[in-house]
Amino acid sequence: METKTTTSTVKGVKTNVTISGAEAVIKCLLAEGVDILYGYPGGAIMPVYDELYKYQKELHHVLTRHEQGATHAAQGYARATGKVGVAIATSGPGATNLITGIADAQIDSTPMVCITGQVAEHLLGTDAFQETDIVGISTPVTKWNYQITKASEIPEVLAKAFYIARSGRPGPVLIDITKNAQFEKFEFSYEPCTSVRSYKAVPKLELDAVKKAAELINEAKKPFIIWGQGVILGKAEEEFKTFIEKTGIPSASTLLGLSALPTKHKLHVGLVGMHGNYGPNKLTNECDVLIAIGMRFDDRVTGDLSRYAKQAKVVHFEIDPAEVNKNVFADVPVLGDVKESLKEILPFVDEKEHTDWLQEFRNHDAVEFDKVIKRDLYPLKEGLTMGEVIKEINNASKGKAIVVTDVGQHQMIACRYADFNQSKSNITSGGLGTMGFALPAAIGAKMGTPEREVVAVIGDGGYQMTIQELGTILQTKAAVKIVVLNNEFLGMVRQWQQLFFDKRYASTVMTNPDFVTIAQGYHIPAKRVTKREELASAVSEMMQSEEAFFLEVCVEKEDNVFPMIPTGSSVSEVRLS
Amino acid sequence: MDEKQTYTVSIYTENNIGVLNRISAIFQRRHINLESVNVSKSEIKSVSRITLLVQVTEDQIKKIIGQLEKQVEVIKAYYHTDEATIYQESCLFKLSTDLLTENDEIQKVINSSKSRVININKDFFVLEKSGTKEEVEELYHLLDKYGIKQFIRSGRIAITRDEMRVSELLKGN
């Protein structure tokens, strides 16, 4: 802890000069190591923008084309870097436009700080121009929020905001600052926040729980691991790999856990969930010990809970106590930071190989390959499949790219087939299922990791929800590769209509614009592929491009994503057709 | 386990703007009605105590406690059955002063219910009663026929038989 007399520290900033609240906001962001933020100006946040103008060398502000884009860009940045993403907007509509991204960050545990301008304190509650109760509106979808009405509150509240956003189970924090507080002058000093008395970021790891967990794991004949994003958020990829390699346990990922372990790792048995792999879904109901690591048993993972892993003892490694026993009862909960827990348990677990058990997964893989994967990746029919596009991207990227996906069929296909060699390479909207996420998230991911290739794979529906962010790409020259898989349908909804609503395609047919022309209008090189023989070279051209590139692939219109666990079914009822 | 029953929820929080909103949103999201709400100081300086009454299953309330404690400004949350607490609700009745002069019926009700007159003037008097929800309801029914001009009841306040150890939690940080 720093003392009040410190004049300068690594992170702390102490000055005795009087500055405005608006300038203090910038100084706090700089003290927190922020070098980029995404936003959109407007009346109530103008004093802060005026300071952003003055500090533009230190702090890069990216003007998105819509505030929602700012939040998704901040999310993409956070997911690619592991750092806190920052979005900024004005009061009223600027603030309400942030809500979708905030809700997305909340349910997907993404560290994000949103700053909104607010009308002056004396106007609060008067229905002033662009006044909205954003603190009230954002309460259910934020980890924490606060309204600042005095400049002197800014340093402490922003320090707290960053601490809360990044610590424990991360999440979004919104800070609303009235305009008078932005103008007001005060004596600025900054100290990073290291604790909040009413908030316990990480529960204390109990050695007893670790030993009990190890006992169950050692006795198991058919242990099975499902890991989630907790492994990535907890920076525990190495510990996780060491743990599974020692215990030899077949391990499957949730949607958001993907890329924590290289796709081709011998113990990686695929993806669980509604459109996950056949083996891990089916064998969830055959394992004797289910080890959940940093995952929350989402309904898209479990299917019918009353028929989910009932035969298994459950060990749950989790940082958030509210997740334990929420959906699935844990025989042994191991609360704590997963990095620490996995390190702690390692000496207690036996070195093992589960050859026969692992083979059962591989046998299921063979069935899935025959029934599903073959026709997705090596189609014989004329129309292009989404799967073969992902396969080409894998070939070109060698599994090194960050793949950002939107929501729908293309997302499931991309997450099923994309190769990941490196952590933080899968960025998608999981819990909230936000169409329109991918394009702005890819911009943020690229800016956060300029050295990496970032490929956004998007459906024709979701693309049009935030298509205006092409303007952000034009202005910033973010070298994002955009692949739109166009089937002229809202494909996932259409698939459900086909399977469960007797093909009544209510409002799922899309009459689309010329996407290539639109991209070209934003001066983004663009190409359309309609035939298989053009695909490989077009993908390769896109990947080799030094700048942003748009590729539209016209795919088979009425393809379905399988395997599938229909709503209300058990994981063992996973369908292959 | 799965039957709904009345639980008293005690939540120790920081005394900040918006905390009650954040807490009530957790119940709203789960489509649960708050039967009574009380916010007050607690035994710890600058710490508020929110007392809620809800009708839910034990499984539900356990999960809700987890969600409540997850809130940054919540220090600790507990749930208790009626047996585990000593609780009171307070109520006020506004009645016509004429009732006191007409006969001694109302005086008998006052005496038997252990309520007390806390204000009186030529037009009306105010009767105060503290007790369980049932005692308050019973008095309401007794007075109903005399014409109640105004009635108000407070939220439940409850002291638990168990120790809370919230001060220790705060020291731990």
Quote the distance between the C-alpha of residue A253 and its chain's center.
Answer: 14
Which of B80, B115, B131 is the endpoint of a domain? Answer: B80
Query: In the prediction, which pLDDT does A15 show?
Result: 56
Which domain, by its residues, includes B18?
Answer: 5-80
Q: Which CATH topology does A207-361 take?
A: Rossmann fold (3.40.50)
Helix (H, G, I), strand (E, B) or coil at B170: helix
Smallest Cα distance from A201 to chain B, Å: 9
Q: List the pLDDT tens digit at each of the 577 positions of chain A.
A: 333 433 444 455 655 689 999 999 999 999 999 999 999 999 999 999 999 999 999 999 999 999 999 999 999 999 999 999 999 999 999 999 999 999 999 999 999 999 999 999 999 999 999 999 999 999 999 999 999 999 999 999 999 999 999 999 999 999 999 999 999 999 999 999 999 999 999 999 999 999 999 999 999 999 999 999 999 999 999 999 999 999 999 999 999 999 999 999 999 999 999 999 999 999 999 999 999 999 999 999 999 999 999 999 999 999 999 999 999 999 999 999 999 999 999 999 999 999 999 999 999 999 999 999 999 999 999 999 999 999 999 999 999 999 999 999 999 999 999 999 999 999 999 999 999 999 999 999 999 999 999 999 999 999 999 999 999 999 999 999 999 999 999 999 999 999 999 999 999 999 999 999 999 999 999 999 999 999 999 999 999 999 999 999 999 999 999 999 999 999 999 999 9
Q: Are A322 and B63 inside 8 Å of each other by CB?
A: yes
Which pLDDT score, from 0 to 100, does residue B164 have? 81
In chain B, which stretches have pLDDT less than 50? 173
| Nearest CB neighbour to B21, from listed A136, A143, A195 | A136
Q: Are residues B32 and B66 in the same domain?
A: yes
Q: Is residue B170 part of a domain?
A: no
Best CA proximity match to A232, nearest among A101, A402, A100, A103: A402
> In the prediction, which pLDDT does A167 show?
98
Query: CB of A530 within 8 A of CB of A554?
Result: yes
The confidence score (pLDDT) of residue A398 equals: 96
Best A113, A173, A196, A198 member to test B by mutation, with max B CBs in 10 Å, is A198
CB contact, 8 Å: A321 with chain B?
A: yes
Chain B residues closer than 8 Å to A201 by CB:
none
Q: Say which CATH architecture domain A13-190 belongs to.
A: 3-Layer(aba) Sandwich (3.40)
Q: Which residue numbers of A are catalytic?
A: 67, 129-130, 179, 492
State which H helix or E strand residue A16 sits in: strand A13-20
Whether A196 sits inside 8 A of B72 (CB atoms) is yes
Task: Count structural domains, chain B.
Answer: 2
CA–CA min distance B126, chain A (Å)? 35
B69 with B95, same domain: the answer is: no
Chain B residues with CB-CB distance to A161 below 8 A: none
> CB distance from A57 to chain B under 8 Å?
no
Of A123, A224, A136, the residue nearest A179 (C-alpha): A123
* Spatial CB neighbours of A53, under 8 Å, sequence gap ≥ 6: none
Alpha-carbon gap: B124 to the closest alpha carbon of chain A (Å): 37
Same domain membership, residue B130 and residue B95: yes
* SS3 call for A468: helix
- As a whole number of angstroms, the distance between CA A427 and CA A415 comes to 10
Same domain, B44 and B18: yes
Instruction: Measure A215 CA to nearest chain B CA, in Å.
Output: 27
A196 contacts on B by Cβ (under 8 Å): 72, 173
CA distance A177 to A44: 9
> Residue A575: beta bridge partners?
A564
- Which CATH number applies to A382-554? 3.40.50.970
* Contact between chains at B17 and A195 (C-beta distance less than 8 A): no
Q: Judge contact between A304 and A170, C-beta under 8 A.
A: no
| Contact status of A147 with chain B (Cβ, < 8 Å) | yes
Q: Three-class SS string for A253-293?
A: ECCCCCCCCCCCCCCEEEECCCCCCHHHHHHHCCCCEEEEE
CA neighbor of A526 nearest in space, from A542, A511, A506, A510: A542
Instruction: Let me know: does A94 contact A45? Beta carbons within 8 Å.
Output: yes
Domain ranges of chain A: 13-190, 207-361, 382-554
Q: H-helix or E-strand containing A407?
A: none
CA dist., res. A330 & res. A322, Å (int): 12
In the chain, the amino acid numbered A281 is N
ipTM of the prediction greater than 0.85, yes or no: yes
Would you state the pLDDT for residue A2? 38
